[in-house]
Amino acid sequence: MTKEDNQSMMEKIVSLCKRRGFVYPSSEIYGGMSAIYDYGHYGTLLKNNIRDAWWKEMVQKRMDVVGLDSAIFMHPKTWVASGHVGGFNDPQVDCKKCKSRYRADHLLEGFKVVIDDKTPIEEINKNLEKLREEKKLKCPNCGSTDLTEAKVFSLMVKSNIGSPTDELSEENVVYLRPETCGGIYLEYKNTLDSLHPKLPFGIAQVGKAFRNEIVARQFVFRTREFEQMEMQYFLKSEMMKEKYEMWKEIRFQWYLEYGISENNLQWHKHEKLAHYASEAFDIEFNFKTLGGFREVEGLHTRGDWDLSQHSKFSGADLSYFDQEKNERLIPHIMETSVGLGRLFLMFLDNAYTEEEVNGELRSVLKIDKRLAPIKIAILPLSKKEELTVPAKEIWEKLKENFMVEYDETQSIGKRYRRQDEIGTPYCVTVDFETLNDQAVTVRDRDTMTQERIAISELSKYFEEKLR
C-alpha cells in the first residue's frame, strides 16, 4: 500500500465511524478538541465487547487473577514514587513550516538511534543536530528541514481537588492517572489482606488514563483520554521466566482467536530497558490506516521496583509472607498493558473490507461475531402492519439474549448495506411469505447467502451461530 492508500483507508474508517455512529470528535459544536473522542451507540457497543473479551480471557477464565476498579485520582505521592512526576516527559520537535509536531524518539528511530526516558535532552539534541548537519533530518509530513530543537514536555495531566478558596495551591494538586497500574499497586495490600491470593497471582483492571500526548493525529490510536486494560502479575523472582513466556503466549493467542491473522502481528523487543526491567516486548499490529506495524500491547517485566518504591514512599509494609520458605519477600511484577481505543482501531482496520457485488461497491465490517456491536437486525420487507407486528414480536423474543436491532426505514438494499457497514453478522427479513410459512430469511453478512428458518427455531439457531 502507498502512503496515499493508507491515508485514504484512515479517511474511510474515520468517515464510517462518524457517519454510522461509532466515534465522534469530542465537543464538535465548539470546534472540537484535539485527540479526544466520544463513542456513539455502535462504538460503545463494540468497545464494551472488546473490553469484555479481554476481561473474559484475563479474569473469568483464570483462577489466579482477580479484578479491580480503582479511582482515577490517587494520592499525589503515588506519581512521585513511580517516577512519573519529573520523569514522564516526551521530548518533542516541531516543524516550523507545516507546524507538525513529532516525538524526538520517533524521529530518531528512523535513523536507528534509540533513546529512552532516561536519555538527557542534551544528548537527544546532539543526535538531532548531527542529522541536521548531514541534511538527513526532514519533516516526515512536508519534507522541510526547518525543525526546532527537542523540548521536554510533561505528559501528566494536572488537576486540583479540595476547597475552592485554596484552589491551585500546590498541596491540592492531583494528577489524572497516566496509567491504570498505579491503582493496582496501591490496592495490592488490600487485595492480599481481603482475598488472600497466593503467589503467583494477578490483579486486572480496565479504566481511563490521561496523557498530554504531543503527537495526536492518529484517530483513536493515540488520544489524550483513553482506556487501558492492564494486568499486573505478582510472583517470586524465580518464576519470572516461565510466567513471562506463559503470558506472552496467552496474549498472542488472544489476537488470533479474535480474527487477527498471524501475518499481521509481530513481537517487538525493546532494546533499551528501564533499569528495573529484565525484558520488554510489545505486540505490534500491521495497521493499514497507519501504514505499518504499531504497538498495541506491552508485556513488561518490572522486577520488585513498583512495590519497593511504594513501600518506601508510603512507609507501608508491602511484603508477602512465603509460607513454604517461612520468609517475607517483595513480589516481582510482570505486566500486560493494552489500550482499548487502540484495539478498537485495530479491529476496525482488520475488519474493513470493500467488495464488488453485482457491479456495486459493498463495504462491510468482517468483524468477529462476538465483537460485533449488533448481532441480528430484524428487517420487515414493508412498513405494513401485517409485517411490522410479527417482526417486532421476533425482536421482543430475541432481545433477551442478543443485541438486536429493528429497522423498517428505507429500501431493503439500503438496510443491508447499513448493517454490513456496522458489521451485523445476521439480518432477518420478514416478508409476505412469513405470514404463510411462519419462517423468515436469514442473511449471512460475510457470504451473503440466505436461509429460510422457522420463527420457532430462531433462538436456537442464533445461539449456535453466535456462540
Per-residue buried b or exposed e for 186-216, using 16+ beta carbons within 10 Å of the residue's own CB? bbbbebbeeeebebbbbbbbbbebbbbbbeb
Q: Please, is 138 exposed, middle or buried when counting C-beta atoms within 10 Å of its C-beta (0-12, 13-18, 19+)?
A: middle
- Residue whose C-alpha cell reads 491473522 in the numeric block: 261
Q: Which stretch binds ligand ATP (CB under 6 A): 74-82, 304-312, 331-339, 359-367?
A: 331-339
Nearer to ligand ATP, 127 or 228 (CB): 228
Nearer to ligand ATP, 61 or 208 (CB): 208
Q: Is 213 in the site for ligand ATP (CB under 6 A)?
A: yes
Type of residue numbered 91: P
Query: What is the smallest separation between the CB atom of 287 and ligand ATP, expressed in angstroms?
Result: 12
Query: What is the smallest separation between the CB atom of 283 and ligand ATP, expressed in angstroms?
Result: 8
Q: Give, to the nearest 10 degrees, the angle between helix 340-351 and helix 3-19.
A: 110
Query: What is the smallest separation between the CB atom of 23 and ligand ATP, expressed in angstroms?
Result: 13
Nearer to ligand ATP, 293 or 313 (CB): 293
Q: Which three cell numbers stand for residue 154?
A: 510533561
The Cα 131–Cα 148 span in angstroms is: 13
Query: What is the smallest separation between the CB atom of 362 and ligand ATP, expressed in angstroms?
Result: 31
Is residue 344 within 8 Å of 16, Cβ to Cβ?
no
The Cα 319–Cα 140 span in angstroms is: 49
Query: What is the smallest separation between the CB atom of 232 and ligand ATP, expressed in angstroms?
Result: 12
Q: Is 341 in the site for ligand ATP (CB under 6 A)?
A: yes
Span 214-253, contacts to ligand ATP by CB under 6 A: 222-223, 226, 228
243-179-230 Cα angle (round to 5): 35
Span 25-84, contacts to ligand ATP by CB under 6 A: none
Q: Is 337 in the site for ligand ATP (CB under 6 A)?
A: yes
Is residue 333 within 8 Å of 277, Cβ to Cβ?
no
Nearest residue relative to ligand ATP (C-beta) = 339
Span 288-307, contacts to ligand ATP by CB under 6 A: 295-298
CB atoms within 10 A of CB 243: 18
Pattern 125-164, ligand ATP, x by CB under 6 A: ----------------------------------------
Query: What is the smallest separation between the CB atom of 211 and ligand ATP, expressed in angstroms?
Result: 5
Query: What is the smallest separation between the CB atom of 422 and ligand ATP, expressed in angstroms?
Result: 23
Per-position DSSP letters for 31-100, written without gaps between them: T--TT-EEE-HHHHHHHHHHHHHHHIIIIIT-SSEEE----SB--THHHHHTT-TTT-B--EEEBTTT--
Nearer to ligand ATP, 213 or 407 (CB): 213
Query: What is the smallest separation between the CB atom of 338 and ligand ATP, expressed in angstroms?
Result: 5
Span 412-451, contacts to ligand ATP by CB under 6 A: none
Q: Which three cell numbers stand for residue 10?
A: 484512515
The Cα 185–Cα 74 span in angstroms is: 11
Q: Is 211 in the site for ligand ATP (CB under 6 A)?
A: yes
Nearer to ligand ATP, 175 or 226 (CB): 226
The residues binding ligand ATP (CB under 6 A) are 179, 211, 213, 222-223, 226, 228, 295-298, 337-339, 341-342
